[in-house]
Structure 1
Amino acid sequence: MKNQLVVLALFLLSVTNPVFTVAQSNDEPQTLFQKGEPINTENLGVFVAPSFGFTQMDGAGATLFNLRAGVSIKDQISFGAYFSTSMNDMVPQSETVPNVYMDYWTVGGFAEYTWNASKLVHLTFPLYIGYGEVQMDNEIGEAGLGEANFFQVEPSALIEINLHRLVSLNAGAGYRIVGNMEYRNLNQSDLSGLTGYIGLKFNIF
């Protein structure tokens, strides 16, 4: 009987005594997202970055329009998707059919590291990995000369200048590395090469 009374007294003490109650609450498991607390997005940002590229493919000058959009973490690590396409009529020096020109486009993803983003002038290093296509075409889009697809990687380095809290100007270069491909008189070495870039970056938030 004495033992039962002792157990009952300890139980009542643990329920009513605040010391015991605090000790019990401290034993709750810790989780990544605590109940009732919103996810912290303070270190996340979203951006869009259009740019123009200038390069050569098989001796033909090309102007490229490049658009990328992504998410940044602490203004240092970024990742997202991109699309790039030729804007002018390229005539490869190895092409023998008259009145045709070459179209080029590529799409894929990118990862980027930015060094000292808070400084007025800083460096950023995008790495593009994607899938591309070239095709000979004519004015009515019926050249009938087929197309070729390839895998592409392009490491780049840009100098970036903060024009505004949400806008920056960038310029630099990348080297386009095209995977194994054969198309008419072209191969991967004819499409690989250096590209100069100039563009803007708009931080949405």
Structure 2
Amino acid sequence: MNQLKYLIVILFSLLASLSSAQQFTDKPKNNEVKSIIGKEKEITGFGNIDFKVGQVVDQQALIIGAYGGILINKYFMFGVAGYGLSTDSKFDGFNPESSTPRELNLYGGYAGMLMGFKIASREIIHLSVPMVIGAGQFDVSDNNYFDMANGDNDFVLESSSFFVFEPSALIELNISHHFRLGFGAGYRLVKGSSLENLDDDDLSGFSGVVSIQLGKF
């Protein structure tokens, strides 16, 4: 329930930022209807590499990923994104078949559609609000399941797909016309997982974000 409250706060913050972003849109000429893609709209491409540090199964974990797409009129972002768990996330669990207590490992990632917006992107320091909506999969593995001489001892005990929604808010710095750095935070909301050892709350959580962006700005 507390995570739902946090998500509601984030969503209201995004809506407030979007309202502020409307102040930067061009005024209509001759009663022209406003549109995202229309006359005199500039479309450029960009790509990001993200490093996220946050809680996964009650411990700090590193998630590395990337997203890219198009930037419309320097404000609206559309594209695709993908992220993977990069650290060795261990936790105390059990084998679903025998209920034997074991030290288990979590592996996986998620991907989906990216959309968002930037506020005052022409300024040296500005706000970027990317949002990822998609799906992923996590595997729970026992890395000591077998006793083999070649060291290949791991065995996947269970796997599950899930829905993910991850909004973030970043302060971006324009280093050059083709290079930006971003620093901020996000919240990963996971729903629909069916693991025996972990639930949606274990896989959801806040994270700090460092982002490197390349493109034509």
The two structures share one fold, judged by TM-score above 0.5: yes
Structure 1 counterpart of 2:210, one-letter code = I
What are the ranges of 5 or more consecutive residues in structure 2 without an aligned counterpart? Answer: 1-38, 95-100, 144-150
Asked if the contact 2:161–2:192 (Cα under 8 Å) also holds between the matched residues in 1, the reply is no
Asked if the contact 1:51–1:198 (Cα under 8 Å) also holds between the matched residues in 2, the reply is yes
Asked if the contact 1:47–1:70 (Cα under 8 Å) also holds between the matched residues in 2, the reply is yes
Q: Aligned partners of 1:127, 1:187: CA distance in 2, in Å?
A: 23
Give TM-score, length-normalised by structure 2.
Answer: 0.71
State the partner residue of 2:102: 97
CA gap of 1:121–1:93, structure 2 versus 1, over 3 A, is: farther
Deviation readout 1:138-189 (Å, 9 max, x if unpaired): 3737413021110000111000000001100001111111112221221101
Offset, 1:123: 0.3
State the partner residue of 2:125: 121
State the partner residue of 2:190: 178
State the partner residue of 1:147: 159
Give the aligned CA root-mean-square deviation in angstroms: 2.1
State the partner residue of 2:212: 200
State the partner residue of 1:106: 110
Structure 2 counterpart of 1:128, one-letter code = V
Deviation readout 1:47-100 (Å, 9 max, x if unpaired): 0100100011111321011100110001100110001001111013445323x4
Q: SS in structure 1 opposite 2:102?
A: coil
Give TM-score, length-normalised by structure 1.
Answer: 0.75
Q: Percent identity?
A: 26
Count of aligned pairs? 166
Which one has a bigger Cα radius of gyration? 1
What are the ranges of 5 or more consecutive residues in structure 1 without an aligned counterpart? Answer: 1-39
State the partner residue of 1:52: 51
Q: Aligned partners of 1:69, 1:158: CA distance in 2, in Å?
A: 16
Q: SS in structure 1 opposite 2:122?
A: coil
Asked if the contact 1:58–1:94 (Cα under 8 Å) also holds between the matched residues in 2, the reply is no
State the partner residue of 2:10: none
Q: Aligned partners of 2:156, 2:185: CA distance in 1, in Å?
A: 34
